[in-house]
């Protein structure tokens, strides 16, 4: 087989793995799925096994049946994970989970409101980096409430500049709220705005005008909705929003949103302990635009996490080196597009990723030196963490405890985790609770007979009822 044929075969294997994941998530057998898409179960079996290319048109039919929001069609046979775009005439382009309701929209609840765009890495969806003025927050929220109340029939048939600017200005506040607030209740407001924006985009498109600026907005809001649904443990809904966001980012040529959405796919698959899928998404992230330093840096950090989960020490360590090197070489465009990756914020993101990668590697291989280095990286992340980011503090504190458990020091692990266990469980955030459960399991397996570990386990059982 030549190189081109080998590459296509590898992509069929990737397609098959994704198909198997979605089919199982839908609770269908290969025979049941085959009946619904009009193919014999043997065809489904061979596609899932990567032994044949999906027949023409099958990916779209599978997306419809499995409600993947275009994930399989965007993956495509022989194309990898890069092409997330869909034609603007696609009738499913403006579809979104759930329905548009007349409920109110709650503001973010944090004192973040830019006077001009770009701000915090969010550019104007209409004018890019032109320095657009933003209307007052009260005016924006009043307009949104009126449009939500009136419904899709009353939406404008063109992108109204002030409202587009206002919706973009809300994004930094909602983004900040997702990392500062323990509660995930704002997801309802974010999803109501999302339905408003996609309905508006559809009305604009039907009037013969370009909906791209609105789809850029939708991609940003879909990312937040997906993150919050993921934190609630609603991984299927989170995956749906990420899939929609990736399509909207592709259609509107928003490379920044595409890259960051792939990073969310990495997190979601890592929650399922699926290192292979997490690695594929991390590589897809890096392929969005290799010329952007921040894209490569984040790709290396997420590849390190995937390799750590898979127990591949050499590749994990290599990606850590590349990630740190990339972080030190970011230029002005990187700083403008990814301000969350520079200065203290960048140190938190990088060191927390490295700490997580080394902890996962230690858990998979028993390498206590890796665990100790993971503890040091996680401690560095905590040192630079702003006090207001309480959810991240809880997650990193429990990860630090787990690093010490992997390093063979259960006493230090319990001393770190016990004071925050109640608060961590009360967040109900999947990432935080997942870290705590992993720590609890590890302590029970290795040191379940120690009095401090028994006391810690008893406290967790009492807190969970």
Cα 317 to Cα 287, 299, 303, 312, 370: the distances in Å are: 21, 14, 10, 9, 10
**Beta carbons of 212 and 121 less than 8 angstroms apart:** no
**Residue 404, both tokens:** 């010490």
At 93, is the pLDDT very low, low, confident or very high (cuts 50, 70, 90)? Answer: confident
At 80, is the pLDDT very low, low, confident or very high (cuts 50, 70, 90)? Answer: very low
Q: What is the pLDDT of residues 275-309, one digit of tens each?
A: 999 999 999 999 988 889 999 999 999 999 999 99
> What pLDDT was estimated at residue 9?
47
At 250, is the pLDDT very low, low, confident or very high (cuts 50, 70, 90)? Answer: confident
> What pLDDT was estimated at residue 12?
67
Alpha helices in 181-234 (DSSP H): 187-206, 212-231
> What pLDDT was estimated at residue 53?
74
Q: Which residues make beta-bridge pairs with 122? A: 119
Residue 328: Cβ-neighbour burial (10 angstroms; 0-12, 13-18, 19+): exposed
Neighbour tally for 464: CB within 10 Å? 11
Alpha helices in 151-292 (DSSP H): 161-180, 187-206, 212-231, 235-251, 255-271, 275-287
**Left if phi > 0, otherwise alpha if psi is -120 to 50, otherwise beta: which for 97?**
beta
At 176, is the pLDDT very low, low, confident or very high (cuts 50, 70, 90)? Answer: very high
Q: Rounded to whole angstroms, how far apart are CA atoms 178 and 158? A: 30
**Beta carbons of 416 and 401 less than 8 angstroms apart:** yes
Phi, psi of 116 (to 5 degrees): -145, 155
Phi, psi of 117 (to 5 degrees): -110, 145
| Residues 153-174, mean pLDDT to the nearest whole number | 93
At 83, is the pLDDT very low, low, confident or very high (cuts 50, 70, 90)? Answer: very low
Q: Rounded to whole angstroms, how far apart are CA atoms 412 and 406? A: 11
- Centroid of chain to Cα 92: 22
Residue 339 gets which letter from DSSP? G
Q: Rounded to whole angstroms, how far apart are CA atoms 68 and 62? A: 8
Q: Is the model's pLDDT at 342 over the cut of 50?
A: yes
Q: Is the model's pLDDT at 197 over the cut of 70?
A: yes
- Residue from 170, 118, 109, 103 nearest 139 by CA: 170
Provide the 3-class DSSP secondary structure of residue 52.
Answer: coil
Residue 122 gets which letter from DSSP? B
**Residue 2, both tokens:** 């030549």
> What pLDDT was estimated at residue 294?
97
Provide the 3-class DSSP secondary structure of residue 116.
Answer: strand
**Residue 4, both tokens:** 């081109």
> What pLDDT was estimated at residue 346?
96
> What pLDDT was estimated at residue 153?
79
At 130, is the pLDDT very low, low, confident or very high (cuts 50, 70, 90)? Answer: confident
| Residues 34-49, mean pLDDT to the nearest whole number | 81
Cα 46 to Cα 9, 35, 57: the distances in Å are: 12, 15, 16
> What pLDDT was estimated at residue 154?
82
| Residues 154-161, mean pLDDT to the nearest whole number | 90
């Amino acid at each position: 087989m030549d190189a081109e044929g080998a590459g296509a075969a590898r992509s069929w294997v990737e397609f098959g793995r994704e198909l198997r994941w979605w089919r199982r998530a839908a609770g269908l057998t290969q025979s049941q799925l085959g009946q619904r898409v009009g193919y014999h179960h043997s065809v489904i079996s061979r596609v899932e096994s990567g032994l044949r290319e999906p027949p023409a048109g099958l990916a779209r039919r599978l997306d419809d049946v499995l409600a993947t929001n275009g994930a399989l069609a965007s993956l495509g046979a022989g194309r990898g994970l890069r092409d997330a775009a869909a034609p603007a005439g696609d009738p499913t382009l403006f579809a979104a989970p759930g329905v548009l309701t007349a409920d109110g929209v709650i503001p973010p609840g944090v004192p973040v409101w830019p006077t001009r765009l770009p701000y915090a890495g969010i550019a104007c969806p209409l004018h890019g980096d032109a320095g657009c003025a933003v209307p007052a927050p009260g005016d924006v929220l009043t307009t949104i409430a009126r449009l939500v109340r009136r419904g899709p029939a009353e939406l404008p048939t063109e992108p109204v500049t002030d409202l587009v600017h206002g919706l973009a200005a809300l994004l930094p506040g909602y983004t900040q709220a997702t990392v500062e607030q323990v509660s995930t209740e704002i997801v309802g407001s974010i999803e109501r705005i999302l339905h408003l924006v996609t309905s508006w985009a559809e009305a604009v498109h039907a009037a013969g005008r370009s909906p791209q600026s609105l789809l850029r907005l939708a991609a940003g809001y879909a990312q937040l909705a997906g993150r919050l649904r993921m934190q609630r443990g609603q991984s299927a809904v989170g995956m749906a929003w990420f899939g929609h966001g990736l399509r909207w980012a592709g259609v509107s040529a928003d490379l920044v949103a595409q890259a960051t959405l792939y990073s969310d796919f990495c997190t979601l698959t890592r929650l399922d302990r699926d290192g292979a899928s997490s690695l594929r998404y991390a590589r897809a992230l890096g392929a969005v635009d290799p010329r952007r330093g921040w894209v490569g840096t984040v790709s290396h950090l997420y590849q390190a996490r995937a390799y750590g989960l898979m127990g591949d020490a050499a590749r994990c360590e290599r990606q850590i080196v590349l990630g740190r090197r990339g972080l030190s070489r970011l230029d002005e465009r990187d700083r403008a597009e990814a301000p969350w990756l520079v200065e203290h914020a960048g140190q938190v993101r990088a060191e927390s990723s490295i700490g997580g990668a080394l902890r996962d590697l230690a858990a998979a291989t028993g390498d206590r030196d890796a665990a100790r280095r993971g503890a040091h990286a996680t401690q560095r992340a905590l040192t630079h963490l702003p006090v207001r980011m309480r959810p991240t503090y809880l997650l990193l504190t429990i990860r630090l405890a787990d690093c010490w458990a992997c390093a063979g020091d259960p006493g230090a692990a319990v001393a770190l985790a016990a004071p925050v266990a109640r608060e961590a469980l009360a967040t109900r955030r999947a990432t935080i609770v997942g870290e705590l459960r992993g720590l609890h399991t590890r302590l029970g397996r290795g040191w379940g007979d120690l009095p401090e570990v028994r006391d810690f386990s008893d406290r967790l059982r009492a807190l969970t009822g």
